[in-house]
Structure 1
Amino acid sequence: MKNIRNFCIIAHIDHGKSTLADRLLEHTKTIGERDMMNQVLDDMDLEREKGITIKSHAIQIAYTSKGETYNFNLIDTPGHVDFSYEVSRALAACEGALLLVDASQGIQAQTISNLYLAIDNDLEIIPVINKIDMDGAMIPEVQDQIIDLIGCKVEDILLASGKSGIGIEGILEAIVERIPAPKGDYDAPLQALIFDSVYNSFRGIIIYYRIMNGILRKNDKIQFVATGQNYNADEVGVLKLNMTPKEEVKAGDVGYIITGIKNAKEVKVGDTITLANNPGEMIHGFEEVKPMVFAGIFPVETDAFEELRECMDKLQLNDASLTFELETSQALGFGFRCGFLGLLHMEIIQERLEREFNQTVITTVPNVGFIAYTSKGDKVIVNNPAEMPEPTKIDHIEEPFIRAQIISSPDYIGNIMTLCLGKRGILLNQTYLTPTRVELTFEMPLTEIVFDFYDKLKSQTRGYASFDYTPIGMREADIVKMDILLNGEKVDALSALIHRSRSQDFGRKLCEKLKELLTKQQFQIAIQAAIGAKVIARENISAMRKDVTAKCYGGDISRKRKLLEKQKEGKKRMRQIGNVEVPQEAFLAVLKLD
């Protein structure tokens, strides 16, 4: 066990984690030249297209130093704030972390939050300055920033370049010397922490785990502690570029197991695998995910619901931060209320459903979870506008607040202040990390940052600001439910929960947008935004008109009048029985409202 090292790579977005992982794999000849490509561990099409890591990827590397062979288990993690749950799971399976900082960008918000996650898990941290061969590299400044942040010595900081391969040997040596070997006991009862799983249509569910104590052998009878289910270990092994079967996997190692489980509900990330005849204790310290944003996902065809349910189960295996429950809507039929970690996460899930499972879905307006207290003193959790009690019965409503950390250059302080205060933010403090870097801390309602806050922040600061947030609890707020009515009929999928000060503006924009998107009918359509019984905005779509008086040439006006009256009666009748189809673009347009 003394020759095993488990570590992961953590950093802000685009600081070169996946590229560094490529070089480590190339340098240790883990991957042949034929299989080598950029971001070799990012195996999803989406990851390659967007150039981001979405899933953590584990791989085993063999490395020889001073005549001894070491087994490295490397986990490459995502950098985006929406996938921080992936990072926290990867850290639970490691003893050390490479903290990567871009030489031309310096420390950014996500660097700090991932670092704190690693420190909470008691990991040994090796700071690495990456991209030192770039023209804009500010090596001495970045070294000072890292020393301020983690209090290490200058000689502890490694210099490297993932692109050209400078300093890779030094990193590998530092991993051997500085990261502790895993602790564990081969003779103790088996304890293996599940940190990921994936669905394979031929082999069932493949589970990835890190063994803390004991040995897992092929054909062992195993048990999942949380669910109490027993299975047979048909195949166990380690993760090279592909899965490599072994007879046994020992304490300290990261590996996979195939048991032929087909039901997604039986596997939980964070559960412990143990032996059925000699059970061990549950491993603690694994936190449940807290979704930030809720939205409804509905199949376009109502009879595709069962198929969508299966796809969601399979997707949840591979992405443990997705939560969902059943929901019905008058406009859209049966579907799911899903919890996501952010809007990017929601977009990725929607894309993955389309690509991997061939499911086209409609997504409703995303919102966050509120708590409503009724006048009787009951507490109602509102994740969906339909769950909101009647306005007359509500005593007060609480909404989730976050603490936002924004790091930027001092030139943009004014822009950031204007943006955050306009989003009902409260400035807590402002500290200069260096003369050219300032950190602003705000308390803000989560509702305000869910939609387009990140995009606006980037455009206000020309891409120089980095942003990270942590939830800090619930606070009282004046939240109202805004309904959209088409000819007096509510469209429940377009309802939104919104702060009263924002509602009029939002309602007007939404009505204007719907006016563009809805097709004209034979009758007039009134689009209204209403809070309770009070209409706050309205737009009309005029009827398509047939010129009924075209055949009257000359003659008395009463003939024309009679025809027009007859047409008017017809339109009135049609309006009572006609229904308005809302196209899918309308639901998507709400998401893109500025």
Structure 2
Amino acid sequence: MNKQICNGNKPTREDPSIDLSQYPPDKIRNFSIIAHVDHGKSTLADRLLELTGTIRKGHGQPQYLDKLQVERERGITVKAQTATMFHQHNFLGTDTKFLLNLIDTPGHVDFNYEVSRSLAACQGVLLVVDAAQGVQAQTVANFYLAFEANLTIIPVINKIDQPTADPDRVKEQLKSIFDLDPNEALLTSAKTGQGVICHVAVVDGAMRKGEKISSAATGQSYEVLDVGIMHPELTQTGVLLTGQVGYVVSGMRSTKEARVGDTLYHTRSTVKPLPGKVFLMLMMDMSDDPILGNETFMQYFTGFKPVKHMVFAGLYPADGSDFEALSHAIERLTCNDASVSVTKESSTALGLGFRCGFLGLLHMDVFHQRLEQEHGAHVISTVPTVPYIFEYSDGSKVHIQNPAMLPSNPKQRVTACWEPTVIATIIIPSEYVGSIITLCSERRGEQLEYSFIDRFSEVFVLC
């Protein structure tokens, strides 16, 4: 197996104490933790792992699921991470065992694609809000992602131990902005309280080690070499049953075989794609997130909205002879971050390189850092640009992502130019409204709406 494209997590030996057959679909809960940046998602995930006995209290580093070096250095979550937990719940005098699949998601807008991918595999979410800061921009954005996915939303007011905490005000915001019942909000303090490895959700049937599976996207067949759960490290179980979430090692030797939203099915079955449908990607660690089943004909689900890249930059090897090494490094990293677009390009000064599209400047910066830290690639990056549309005197229009693509023919005169715009919802304390409106006006912003959240905060929408 090509270890160059391994995600670095080695499955442990099979745990005989884990019997997944005792968890039918009605005893399985898949949920995500969503929130604004630094509202306590990863710390809350730590407490859940401890309360369910998945990890020992005080074992390992804080923010246990933030495994990337860039996440530890920046103190933010970049990649959505999963963990399987087993919980025995005393309900009406009966001890019921549940299998809980937790997904800890990023909070920054540049990694919003990670959140949307995660929610596709979930039944509900914990919407975490800082008791002092209240509802923020990504709180709103993530709420609507969960709302559009028709997920159960449980509000959690976190950091109530802070001296500036005001949970009553946050409850008012949850009611006025999201129409959530404030009485249902949970008050917490999370602080005190091999080859390509595919992450899968089994929709129907069972997947066992040694079985033959096929890819609906590529038509290739594979043998299940290993299968298990994230507990929270990769733990072999030998089988995944209907409704369960885990990983599968199938011998894929190239990241190109791991398609976003691919469907895996037993080789003996027949799968026919439906016209106009996109395969649904259900999990989030690699860019290979399949569904598995064994019915004669399987249902395909509507997929995600296409990624809209906002920033483009050229990446070139610091040493021209390292182009192939950089190519392999980018291929491996984009298997882990499917939201990056990559096309080859050349420059007179820098030679062969790649034109990459990112979701924002932070996304671009983190990608560069991961290339260096995880793959030892030293790159030269060009100044980031945004895409423009130019119209010429002959009526033709062209999308430009790189200034070098502008035609030098004097006969082609540019008659019009369009640049990207956004509709932004800004939530701010009342005392800063005047300054923020002035700042937006200086940046050519036009106010569209204006409203009040409560007596402390106001919200307005501008373009």
TM-score scaled to structure 1, two decimals? 0.67
**Which SS does the other structure have where 2:312 is aligned?**
strand
| 1:273 matches 2:301 | no
Partner of 1:331: 349
Asked if 1:59 is matched to 2:83, the reply is yes
Equivalent residue of 1:434, what SS?
coil
Tell me if the contact between 2:177 and 2:453 (Cα under 8 Å) persists in the aligned partners: no
Matched with 2:191 is: 163
What do residues 322-360 of structure 1 show as CA deviations (whole Å, max 9, x unaligned)? Answer: 111001011111100000000000000111111111111
Equivalent positions of 1:12-411 (< 5 A) are 12-33=36-57, 35-66=59-90, 67-165=95-193, 203-278=194-269, 279=271, 280-390=298-408, 392-411=412-431
Q: Check the 8 A contact 2:424/2:461 in 1, yes or no.
A: yes
Contact 1:224 1:272 in 2 (8 A): yes
Q: For the Cα contact (< 8 Å) 2:174–2:181, is it kept in 1?
A: no
Correspondence 1:425 to 2:416: no
Which one is further off, 54-63 or 147-156?
147-156
Query: Could you tell me whether the CA contact under 8 Å between 2:69 and 2:373 is conserved in 1?
Result: no
Q: How many residues of Structure 1 are paired with residues of Structure 2 in the alignment?
A: 406
Distance across 2 between alignment mates of 1:362 and 1:37: 33
Whole-angstrom distance in 2 between the partners of 1:35 and 1:141: 35
Aligned partners of 1:272 and 1:283 also within 8 Å: no
Partner of 1:61: helix, strand, or coil? Answer: strand
Q: Deviations over 1:385-421 (max 9, x none)?
A: 1112347432322222111111111211222122211
Root-mean-square deviation (CA, aligned residues, Å) is 1.4
The structure richer in helix per residue is 1
Q: Secondary structure at the match of 1:435?
A: coil
Hey, what's the Cα distance between the residues in 2 that align with 1:83 and 1:153? Answer: 29
Cα drift, residue 260 of structure 1: 1.9
Alignment-mate amino acid for residue 307 of structure 2: V
Please report how far the alpha carbon of residue 227 of structure 1 lies from its aligned counterpart in structure 2 after TM superposition.
2.4
Q: Give the Å deviation of 1:33.
A: 4.2
Q: Please report how far the alpha carbon of residue 212 of structure 1 lies from its aligned counterpart in structure 2 after TM superposition.
A: 2.2
Give the corresponding residue for 2:33. Answer: 9
TM-score when normalising by structure 2: 0.85
Question: Is the contact between residue 104 and residue 136 of structure 1 (CA under 8 Å) also seen in structure 2?
Answer: yes
Greater RCO structure (CA 8 Å; 6+ sep): 2
Q: Could you tell me whether the CA contact under 8 Å between 2:28 and 2:98 is conserved in 1? A: yes
1:303 match: secondary structure: helix
Partner of 2:283: none
* 3-state SS of paired residue (1:155): helix
C-alpha distance in 2 between matches for 1:131 and 1:275: 47
TM-fit CA distance, 1:228: 2.3
Distance 1:342 1:427 in 2: 23
Instruction: Tell me the CA shift for residue 160 of structure 1.
Output: 0.7
* Pair 1:275–1:374, CA change in 2 (3 A): farther
Q: Which residue of 1 aligns with 2:433?
A: 413
Quote how far apart the aligned CAs of 1:284 are.
1.9
Contact 2:198–2:249 (CA<8 Å) still a contact in 1?
Answer: yes
Cα distance in 1 for residues equivalent to 2:96 and 2:140: 35
State the identity %.
45
Deviation at 1:440, TM superposition (A): 2.1
CA apart distance, 1:219:
1.8
1:461-485 CA deviation, whole Å, 9 max, x = no partner?
A: xxxxxxxxxxxxxxxxxxxxxxxxx
CA distance in 2, matches of 1:228, 1:421: 54
Shift in Å, 1:163: 0.7
Distance 1:227 1:133 in 2: 52
Alpha-carbon spacing, 1:149–1:34, altered in 2? closer, same or farther (3 Å): closer
SS at match of 2:423: strand
Deviation (angstroms), 1:254: 1.0
Separation in 2, partners of 1:37, 1:359: 27
Helix, strand or coil: the match of 1:402?
coil
Question: Could you list the runs of 5+ residues in structure 2 that have no partner in the other structure?
Answer: 1-24, 272-297
Tell me if the contact between 1:221 and 1:275 (Cα under 8 Å) persists in the aligned partners. yes
Q: Rg: which structure is higher?
A: 1
Q: What residue ranges of structure 1 are gaps of 5+ in the alignment?
A: 166-202, 444-594
Query: Are residues 34 and 14 of structure 1, via their aligned partners in 2, closer, same or farther at CA, if it must alter by over 3 Å?
Result: closer
